[in-house]
A and B are shown apart, each in its own frame.
Chain A
């Protein structure tokens, strides 16, 4: 009854409007890139949700892991001087 082969998954990125970034929408199963694009169109853009589509083999995605969240991102934590709010301006100066 079943098929021995499970089609691989492809991650789908959609661009909503001209000038907007491509954002992750979800994934589709497809045997190849060409059908992945067609499936992505049918699944994620039936109502003009996209004007451009990317499909990427899921296995090509490299992701950070939730367990490492603390140490991985902490180089940013102690650099408050990256924020403009870190700096005090003399009284009376309004626009800087």
Chain B
């Protein structure tokens, strides 16, 4: 790939690549791929990995205030899974030629994107329920589809992640279900959390496809298999009955079941808010980057000690 290719060679390679994709071939790191395919995947995978990592922060906020030791252990295990998800996806993204250190630097420099949802604050314990149920629930819908995408390392990371997400989803739902059986104050807290997380969860699927600049290419390359709107609808259809089952109200007056289409109809999403949040003006954007930087700086001595130890051991084996 280093040598300059003639435009005819390039066109042949691209035609061959398109044929492979069309026939359901899975692309592996050493296969030839169009530069734009590599770039789009790197963009998506690094954003996805960053989201897993930044996603630990709103939940980390409640670790020391979990209502019981059991809840604390569960939350800790869930957060540890998210760290693992970040690592699987960074590892997959590295196969595209950018190191994890570079990706992390971009995140710390505030130049990288991650899911807009994590720029909202976690204000009460019920938020641990809403995050697991709604935020991880939306992620599951996305990730189940990505597990069939055309890039092998991404697809395999998603398979691994999907196996772990059901736990995240269920522990969250159970938190809210229990609160809805509790005192009026507990039920109110659960509903408040629902009210705050519902719309941002719908925004997680991204803008409507007509406003989504990369959609056409990504669909052609089977990086995306369904439109943002289709996945959002799938999520809503799945979640509304779950909310009703535990007595939570969906904060959308326009929400109603359409027996003909067999889908729920829903109200307008506030895309202005979405655009504000992704362009850095959400409630917690600055806080999240600061928290990541602090974590990175506070871990520096550990990384340095580990390197020093490895170097010393190395010297010893060589001397022996």
Interface residues of A (CB under 8 A from B): 1-3, 5-7, 9, 26-29, 31-32, 35, 42-43, 46-47, 63, 65-66
Contact = CB atoms under 8 A, between A and B. Distances in A.
A28 B87 contact: yes
B306 A27 contact: no
Contacts of A29: 100
A26 B88 contact: yes
B301 to A, nearest CB: 11
Contacts of A63: 30
B115 interface: no
B81 A46 contact: yes
Contact of B31 (A26, A27, A66): A66
B88 A65 contact: no
Contacts of B306: 31-32, 35
Contacts of B39: none
Contacts of B81: 46
A66 B91 CA distance: 21
A33 B269 CA distance: 50
Interface residues of B, number: 33
Contact of B104 (A2, A9, A46, A66): A2
B105 A1 contact: yes
A5 B307 contact: yes
B256 interface: no
Given A32-B313, A66-B28, A6 B300 contact: no
Contacts of A47: 164
Contacts of A35: 306, 310
Contact of B101 (A2, A32, A42, A46): A2
B80 A6 contact: no
Nearest to A63: B30
B30 A43 contact: no
A66 B51 CA distance: 32
